[in-house]
Amino acid sequence: MYEVIKKADEFGLNKVFANSRDFIELIDELSNKKEEMEVSELVKEVLNKSGYTKSLELEDTTQAENRLENLEEFLTVAIEFEEEAAESTLAEFLESITLSSDVDELEETEEAVTLMTLHSAKGLEFPVVFLVGMEDRNISKL
């Protein structure tokens, strides 16, 4: 999709081409910098140059505030990754955050209750599973 947007003029999509130039230039600029910058610095650069952080600050809502807090946490995770990893490339960072979860670090020999989301439990085997907060509704009454 990115390549189509980048070459939109070749496909007769002149309006798309004109409206996407700033975005394409930003992506190209950041892609070229990814090898020479620390992961945390690249994250900061993306947030600043994209205007996303500024946009959330101007929105001034609870939801925007929560998103800003999530971005701060994401940045903290990037910094921790740099401190722990010998070679901290963007690809390795993205792989580590997409593939890891707290459930991965559980000791299987422990006799304990594990509270997790259904999403994080997928693909794992448990002898007993309880789903809480489920409702049995009679659809015919709706």
pLDDT at 105: 60
By three-state DSSP, how is residue 22 classified? helix
pTM to 2 decimals? Answer: 0.63
Tens-digit pLDDT profile for residues 63-114 = 999 999 999 999 999 999 999 877 788 888 888 887 655 555 656 666 777 7
Handedness of CA 63, 66, 72, 78 (dihedral sign): negative
pLDDT at 100: 57
23 vs 52: CA distance, rounded Å: 13
CB 78 within 8 A of CB 40: yes
Tens-digit pLDDT profile for residues 106-141 = 566 667 777 777 777 776 777 777 878 777 766 665
Domain borders along the chain are 34-106
Task: Give phi and psi for 78, each to the nearest 5.
Answer: -65, -40
Tell whether domain 34-106 is in CATH 3.40.30.160: no
pLDDT at 130: 80
Percentages of the chain per state (helix, strand, coil), in multiples of 5 = 65, 0, 35
**Sequence-distant (≥ 6) Cβ neighbours of residue 45 within 8 angstroms:** 30, 33, 37
pLDDT at 135: 74
pLDDT at 104: 57
pLDDT at 50: 93
CB 31 within 8 A of CB 2: no
pLDDT at 2: 87
Decide if pLDDT at 28 tops 90: yes
More confident residue, 9 or 132: 9
Measured N-to-C along each axis, helices 62-84 and 39-50 cross at an angle, to the nearest 10 degrees, of 160
24, amino acid identity: I
Give the model's confidence band at 31: pLDDT under 50 very low, under 70 low, under 90 confident, else very high.
very high
